[in-house]
Structure 1
Amino acid sequence: MSHITQRAVHCINPDCQRPYPQPWGNKFCNSCGAPLKLLDRYVPFQALGSGGFAQIYTVWDEKTQTEKVLKVLIEDSPKALELFTQEAAVLSSLHHPGVPRVDAEGYFQVQLFNPKPHQLSCLVMEKINGQTLEEILKKFPQGCPEDLVLNWFVQAVEILQELHKRQILHRDIKPSNLMLGTSSPSLTPSQGQTEGDRLVLIDFGGAKQFSASKLRSQSSSTRLFSSGYSPPEQVTGGIVGPSADFYALGRTVIELITGKYPLELEDQQTGKLRWRSVVNVNPQLADLLDEMVQQDVRSRPPNATIIEKRLAKISQPLPPPGLFAQLRDKVKQGSRQVYQRFTQLTQTIEQILANFSQAVTKTVIFVAQTIIKIFQACVATIWAMLLAYVGACFGAIAGFILAYHTSLGRQVVEFLWSQQNQLVPNTQPVLGADILVFVAAGWGTAWGLTVSGCFGQQRRFLVASLMGMISYGFGWLILQLITPKDSGEGLVAVILVGVCLLTLSLGFRSHHIVYAVFAAFGSAIAYAILILFRLAPPIFQFSSQPGWSELQLPLIFFGSVGVFISFWLGVSYYLIVPGLRFLGWR
């Protein structure tokens, strides 16, 4: 006991501000005043954790000089108190090596006054030294050995037989609630059980009494279940009987054999476990487990005695087989292995086909989406080309009428001559009315591109129209400065300057320079190629009194420029800019 008395004491008041450490020997907590020595015999000295609605402690029983487990109810709801009281009653009534023992005075209440007067329900039970089957299973990721599992299976059925004989259902059987501990010196191991591997069923918080009359009635039970282990009728809150424990035990044993969580083995459509191809076990044992985990209650074994008898037959050593029996067993074993390999191969092929089908579907969808996007881009670009062409031609025609069929053209010529004379005196006047054709064509081109709205640009009609007039007017000025006049360099320069300035004013949301550079240089190069192959005029000039026939070449020039601008804006919007964004240029 010396190592125990050197420990500190733990206060069990859930509202205590400083529950640990408290000096050994103190009767009351220094922080909250709660009693530290319970019933004048139990001294809590270590918190083991929490389970459900209770806190677990290790306590020292001064009366028996042994360590025990204290379970303290910390949930104050009536349902929690009902389940806790029910657990205490069940454990107190049982005296079986597979169930933690509870002393006659093991269930009691402790009176607390801080922060307000209330009672704390406590349950002291036998401490099981060992590991749960869930912890043991972690050492066997491929599943525990069959002989070990069969031994645990037999002991678990013996425990259930005792519980059901007393009309008690556990309702929460799973690997974490089955513990493998050392046998108590005062207890004699049952038949088939060896010293040091006593299986104990713990956590009776969900246990309940049942009777034949209640099972025949249609009253439902409290909806309490563990996912992956509890049967369907328990999950839905229906009527549960002994077969619910058999179902949970069957799934637990299957998990111990295969090393896989039951839901991983469950067929999504039928809910049945597909586990026999995962591991090679005794066929009789496999048949028994399959019956225990049937969805239909009527298909499961009716009582623990039947399961125990079948386990006894499975556990019996077989007589030495004869030559024919050995040959038959080898054929069966070989057939089973071939079947398992074939099943695995079939599953692999099904998975490959499923993956291939999924990949083909994704590819088809991707190709279809790509084709649709390409089609949409082509239609949008063609629509922009059409509007830009119409706008440029309309603007050129309007400018031609203003320049040569109204007094505005004569006024423009006089204004340009006066400005030229001031800059360079005594020079011959030049014809300047054609600037109106350029300015109006720039306005029409900008208007057409803005109306289309196919490239994400803002529809700023006023800004775009003004900049279109300024850009093409500036291009006309560049044309006047280039010599010789009959070369194609002049119109190419007009395109470079006019298109670049016009594109910058269209209101794109980003990458303005990219759009301007590609539109200007792309259009200029395209027109230069047309001049090279003599498909476009290198120059056009108006006479002093031009007729409508002289408007043909300007219409070809301004219309083709509008088409080129739209084409290269489409290339930039659908290919170049997305590529730059992909490379990180935002």
Structure 2
Amino acid sequence: MSHIGKTAVHCINPDCQRPYPQPWGSKFCTSCGEVLHLLDRYIPIAALGSGGFAQIYTVWDEVTQTEKVLKVLVEESPKALELFTQEAEVLVSLRHPGVPKVEADGNFQINLSNPKPRQLACLVMEKINGPTLAEILDNYPQGCPEAVVINWLIQALKILQELHKRQIIHRDIKPSNLMLRTPVSTALPNQGGIGWEQLVLIDFGGAKHVKMARLRQESSSTRLFSSGYSPPEQITGGNVGPEADFYALGRTIIELLTGTYPPDLEDPQTGVLQWRNRVNVNSQLADLLDEMVNENVRSRPASAAIILKRLTKITQPSSSSLSTNWQKFLTQVAHQWQVLLQGIEQSFGNFGKTIRKLVLWIFKTIYQIFTACLSTIWAMLLAGLGAGVGTIFGFILAYHTSLGVRIAEFISTQLPELAQNSQSLGGAEMLLFATAGLGTAFGITVSGCFAQRRRLFVTSSMGIISYAFSWLLWRVISANGDRGEGLVAAVAIGVFLLALSIGFRSHHIVYAVIGGFGAAMGFATLLLLEFPTTALQFSNSPTLSELSLPIAFFSSVGMFMSFWFSVSYYLIVPGLKLLGWR
């Protein structure tokens, strides 16, 4: 019988004065007289510890000749019995390798008489041999390898997918409730060996059946939560759905990556986890985890399938790009800077704490300014490049296909007062604006320099719409006045509308106002420096050589826009948050 051996039995009576050791083969406890051989099948042989309202034992199953786990309810309250019974029903109904197996007859009660008559609820389940992720994390104080954690995340999501399909919410996901079925050595397997450890979700004492159709109308009947992992709606006793499990799983994964307890990562003013600067992970994975731990339920992913689909895109190998190489460069710079900071900190080890903290603060501030400048330059380059490419693409469509003529015909039909000049000119201009907006939006989104969500389709579509609208505004204004003033107004409105669609984390109106006003003022400065207002006028049969001024115009707008987005991200928005505007 495994490594324990048939040497002694453990009495499960909570009031027994000497529960262990009892002679092997005894039917009754020599101390309290209670039954030892449960259902003539299960023999308790060792205490494993306690959890919640229950005591946990290793038992020997004489029918299957295997070790199993016995969970005994020692709390006598009706609510504890309700939760215990609920856990048993959930586990009996599930058949998944990521959930401990419980037979149909694994939930039973035994009668006790000493010191008073009572019934003891018992639950026998499969024994999972292996460590919890909390135990593994003890060996990795700086966080576990990203590839291994992603593997665990995928397995956990597949377990949740099965639970949620059965309308079961776990409500208590954390590292100590996730185990690896197969024992592992002190070192985690390398990436080539990932996949052989089966992740298992345990402790279904807080699990809850929900009716999805009535989820919004009914409040949670039982207020249970784990500090540091449970979402706000669960802590306050509100409605909980699958998103509550995603929140707890997201915080668990962040802890596994950083090695830091989630509350220790929270911003003291906003409560948002500040963890990205502690570990180098895939930026798309970081975005996904940030969405999972969003305090707003509706901002979290709606299902495990959606998260798994995004993880598939993240883990699929792809060719290197400029953005990827740029992120690697910044990572290397950050690593070298951290090494420098550590060396400086050691050098000042004999100085007073105040001097040491001051010096470190100065160097950290310089580093933050340096990285902010690099990110700003990168965003400006990509936005300018995207605008230039979009302009060239729009020029080809407008003047070398029939699309420009068709748009002009549509404009002349719907808005005849705007088509005072050549119809092809009006349609071509609008197409040029639209494609430049598409390229600008794409460039800003790909840069990822403002922690924005990478919603390429939404942002690119809005880039087309906002720039096309700005063209319309320009034609209306320039029909009654100066073309320069019209262009300044068009720039302000186009940037304002585009900014609203970029997935900034907060303060969208601030980014829109500052970006629109700043870009307009930047272009107004160019006009004062005698930038020609005829930049978008072409000959009757234009050639590519005439594109230099339009490219300069749209690229400069994109660069001005990115610059002022950066000013908002690094200066204005943090200042507003400091003043209390969340």
Q: Does 1:83 align with 2:83?
A: yes
Q: What are the equivalent positions in structure 2 for 1:125-136 lying under 5 Å apart? A: 125-136=125-136
SS in 1 for 2:45: strand
Contact 1:221 1:240 in 2 (8 A): no
**Counterpart Cα distance in 2 of 1:266 and 1:352:** 25
Uncovered stretches (5+) of structure 2, i.e. residues with no partner: 184-191, 346-352, 359-582
Contact 1:92 1:101 in 2 (8 A): yes
Match of 1:97 in 2: 97
SS in 1 for 2:103: strand
- Residues 32/162 of structure 1: CA separation in 2 closer, same or farther (3 Å cut): same
**How far off its partner does 1:196 sit?**
4.2
**Counterpart Cα distance in 1 of 2:193 and 2:208:** 27
TM-score (norm 2): 0.56
**Counterpart Cα distance in 2 of 1:3 and 1:242:** 40
Deviation by residue 1:137-179 (Cα, 9 ceiling, x = unmatched): 1111111001100000000000000000000011010000000
Contact 2:88 2:107 in 1 (8 A): yes
Match of 1:67 in 2: 67
**Counterpart Cα distance in 2 of 1:294 and 1:340:** 28
**How far off its partner does 1:318 sit?**
2.5
Q: What are the equivalent positions in structure 2 for 1:296-311 lying under 5 Å apart? A: 296-311=296-311
Match of 1:47 in 2: 47
Uncovered stretches (5+) of structure 1, i.e. residues with no partner: 184-191, 357-586
Match of 1:187 in 2: none
Q: What are the equivalent positions in structure 2 for 1:442-481 lying under 5 Å apart? A: none
Q: What are the equivalent positions in structure 2 for 1:252-263 lying under 5 Å apart? A: 252-263=252-263
**Counterpart Cα distance in 2 of 1:354 and 1:169:** 49
SS in 2 for 1:60: strand
- Residues 88/317 of structure 1: CA separation in 2 closer, same or farther (3 Å cut): same
Match of 2:158 in 1: 158
Deviation by residue 1:242-279 (Cα, 9 ceiling, x = unmatched): 10000000000000001111011100111100011111
CA radius of gyration, larger in: 1
**How far off its partner does 1:345 sit?**
11
Matched residues, number? 343
Q: Does 1:335 align with 2:330?
A: yes
**How far off its partner does 1:77 sit?**
0.3
Q: How much identity, in percent, do the aligned residues show?
A: 69
Match of 1:236 in 2: 236
Contact 2:179 2:199 in 1 (8 A): yes
Match of 1:119 in 2: 119
Match of 1:269 in 2: 269
**Counterpart Cα distance in 1 of 2:79 and 2:88:** 14
Match of 1:148 in 2: 148
Match of 1:567 in 2: none
TM-score (norm 1): 0.55
**How far off its partner does 1:131 sit?**
0.2
**How far off its partner does 1:219 sit?**
2.2
**Counterpart Cα distance in 2 of 1:133 and 1:354:** 36
- Residues 114/291 of structure 1: CA separation in 2 closer, same or farther (3 Å cut): same
**Counterpart Cα distance in 2 of 1:223 and 1:354:** 46
Contact 2:9 2:21 in 1 (8 A): yes
- Please identify, of 215-224 and 293-302, the stretch whose mean Cα deviation from structure 2 is larger: 215-224
Contact 1:155 1:193 in 2 (8 A): no
**Counterpart Cα distance in 1 of 2:356 and 2:236:** 33
- Residues 304/106 of structure 1: CA separation in 2 closer, same or farther (3 Å cut): same
**Counterpart Cα distance in 2 of 1:196 and 1:179:** 13
Match of 1:30 in 2: 30
Q: What are the equivalent positions in structure 2 for 1:424-443 lying under 5 Å apart? A: none
**Counterpart Cα distance in 1 of 2:45 and 2:53:** 20
**Counterpart Cα distance in 2 of 1:279 and 1:178:** 22
Q: What are the equivalent positions in structure 2 for 1:546-561 lying under 5 Å apart? A: none
**Counterpart Cα distance in 2 of 1:97 and 1:264:** 33
**How far off its partner does 1:333 sit?**
1.8
**How far off its partner does 1:332 sit?**
3.0
**Counterpart Cα distance in 1 of 2:323 and 2:177:** 41
**Counterpart Cα distance in 2 of 1:272 and 1:155:** 26
**Counterpart Cα distance in 2 of 1:2 and 1:338:** 53
**Counterpart Cα distance in 2 of 1:126 and 1:16:** 26
Deviation by residue 1:422-453 (Cα, 9 ceiling, x = unmatched): xxxxxxxxxxxxxxxxxxxxxxxxxxxxxxxx
**Counterpart Cα distance in 2 of 1:270 and 1:26:** 60
**How far off its partner does 1:223 sit?**
1.7
- Residues 158/2 of structure 1: CA separation in 2 closer, same or farther (3 Å cut): closer
